[in-house]
Structure 1
Amino acid sequence: MAIVKSSIIQALFTAWKNDFQNGLTSAEPQWKEVAMYVTSTSKSNTYGWLGKFPKLREWVGERVINSIKEHGYTIVNKTYESTIGVDREDIEDDNVGIYSPIFQEMGRSVQIQPDELIYGLLSAGTSTLCYDGQNFFDTDHPVYPNADGTGTAVSVANYDDNAGSGTAWYLLDTSRAVKPLIFQERRKPTFLSMTKLDDEHVFTANEFRFGADCRRNVGFSFWQLAYASRKTLNSDNLWAAISAMREFSADGGQKLGVKPTMLVVPPSLEKLATRLLERELDSNSSNELKGRLKLVVPDYL
């Protein structure tokens, strides 16, 4: 039986912190495929620039200053935590080996949580508002004839709901600095402990506490960079989605030059999507989709 001392607790904290870090580095997150990283320095970030697509004109005379419609899309940071209690008896009885994989799994959980948030948001895009006040995936995004949001808007769809039936798949343009989704981070993950022998919780519950926390959240950027469909995933429907995205324009009529680069599907469509994008048809015909799109199959879609 070991006598519980502060030095022993500190040594355990150091070891378990290393396990936590190993868990962080062992995971391979997928959120970077579809989202851009934004550092937050306050409670929330407001993305007033969403909807702004300035274009060049020939400079004749003085500059022409175009008024752009302002959008107040705000992402509020949320705090997340995970805490594990370690019984004092486990330390006294040298039964601490069981905790090493637990803390490693905690690190992995922290590292992949952005995947859960990002792809959870993507799948909720048909019922979650974006900067223009419509659902991110919608059939009636308003696009105005003037850059300042005036005039009679035309409704543009980036969603084929197929009457609510079918498994959703997603077509994205991730080739630009701005990606379709935003991962916002206020405080990076930290690993902390409450390990003083005279701590009130140790006194009352006979338990030491170790935990991780962070502040972060996710949101949408331009709806024009994404398209969702519930139609059968086949060549014709995929080409129809590609064509629809290629026609997207900004307020003021400026073509955006959107070029879909990625197909995102749930695991249930992985086999079908792989065949669609990678298989050659036969010796007499070629697959025009082969090599055109990157396939991403998120674990948490």
Structure 2
Amino acid sequence: MKKILILFTLVMIAALFGSIAFADPALAEPFTWSMLFKGSSVPALVLGADTLRTLFRGFKAAFNKGLGGVTSQWEKIATRVPSTTSSEDYGWLGHIPGMRKWIGDRQINNIKAHGYSIKNDEFEDTIGVPRTAIEDDQYGIFSPLMESMGQAAATHPDELVFELLAAGFETACYDGQYFFDTDHPVIDKDGNVQSVSNMADGANSPWFLLDTSRPLRPIIFQERKKPNFVSKDDEKDDNVFMRAQYVYGVDSRCNVGYGFWQMAYGSKATLNGDNFDAAMQAMLSVKGDHDRKLGIRPTVLVCGANNRAAAKAVLKAQFIDGGNTNTNYDEVELMVVPWLD
């Protein structure tokens, strides 16, 4: 208990020094325990179990600060699906529900067995802290690193979701075709299979038009285990005994996959008014099996930095061509994300 009180006193003194430095940047010298012992030898900080627990709580608080301080973008285009096992099966993705007039017996829509599943992957990020750095009162310099680890864990779903969206031109979805493709199989009113496109080819940076108004959005973020901050800092742990190093890390289990391709349109054509109109028309007119109207309504345009200016010209300019009204002004929400280019 006495050691904890001493460590708490040192932390309060560090905070006082930080306040002084904030008031006068000229005094902004990083606080260390050695400041209290200038002119004399500095005793090494005794690293007992209580001290290490306090240190872990401090590092975990910094991690949680970073974890909670991020405004994610992925939830605007992806649905979070809790997972309870190593993988989840989404064979039902071939059926988009819809009402019909009840005549006679109920018409049972048998779920197509597409065999589409998402397997959870393990992810980790680990940092080694030298024991001597803690003994020599340098633990304060590692708090920003732990906070950055939390921030990285929070943005990890963004990376997964938007990287998968960008990979849709060469990655298969539930029907066996690429998520963005020219020949998705759809049954027409006569029972014949027709090819339907949800993409435009080209040589430019990709942009995407999405309908995110449905319970299942175009991308699935499957979560088995949330980011968990852990440590190996016992004197009996191999990393401490053999290498004099405390280890702190985060791990999680999750993965991403595709939802309905009908709710997404990918284009590598030049992002301009005409091509935007063509993408809108393609999504608004898409039908399901047997010519059933799906009521797709695009809600968001997603692009990277390379298409930012072009996207703003299409959606944010009220007037174009020397004063003509821009009929696409604020037609959909614009999302510019850093994971596409």
Amino acid in the other structure paired with 1:285: N
Could you tell me how far apart the structure 1 residues matched to 2:248 and 2:107 are? 59
Classify the secondary structure of the residue corresponding to 1:4.
coil
1:262-290, CA deviations, whole angstroms, 9 ceiling, x for partnerless residues?
10111111122112111121685311111
Amino acid in the other structure paired with 1:56: M
Residue 63 of structure 1 pairs with residue 63 of structure 2: no
Residue 25 of structure 1 pairs with residue 65 of structure 2: no
Classify the secondary structure of the residue corresponding to 1:70.
coil
Could you tell me how far apart the structure 2 residues matched to 1:230 and 1:289 are? 19
- Cα shift at 1:49: 1.6
More helix by share: 2
Q: TM-score, normalised by structure 1?
A: 0.95
Bigger RCO of structures 1 and 2 (CA < 8 A, at least 6 apart): 1
Could you tell me which residue of structure 2 aligns to residue 158 of structure 1?
A: 198
Conserved 8 A contact 2:46-2:135: yes
Could you tell me how far apart the structure 2 residues matched to 1:65 and 1:105 are? 52
What are the equivalent positions in structure 2 for 1:135-284 lying under 5 Å apart?
135-145=178-188, 151-162=191-202, 165-281=203-319
Could you tell me how far apart the structure 2 residues matched to 1:204 and 1:135 are? 50
Match of 2:329 among 273, 284, 290: 290
- Cα shift at 1:252: 2.3
Conserved 8 A contact 1:81-1:214: yes
Classify the secondary structure of the residue corresponding to 1:124.
helix
- Cα shift at 1:68: 3.9
Amino acid in the other structure paired with 2:119: V
Conserved 8 A contact 1:51-1:250: no
Two-structure CA RMSD over aligned residues (Å): 1.5
> Identity across aligned pairs (percent)?
44
How many residues are paired up? 296
- Cα shift at 1:103: 0.3
Moved more, 101-110 or 137-146: 137-146
Could you tell me how far apart the structure 1 residues matched to 2:309 and 2:103 are? 55
Conserved 8 A contact 2:116-2:174: yes
Q: Which runs of 5 or more structure 1 residues have no equivalent in the other structure?
A: none
Residue 110 of structure 1 pairs with residue 149 of structure 2: no
Q: TM-score, normalised by structure 2?
A: 0.84
Q: Which runs of 4+ in 1 moved over 4 A?
A: none
- Cα shift at 1:53: 2.2
Classify the secondary structure of the residue corresponding to 1:203.
helix
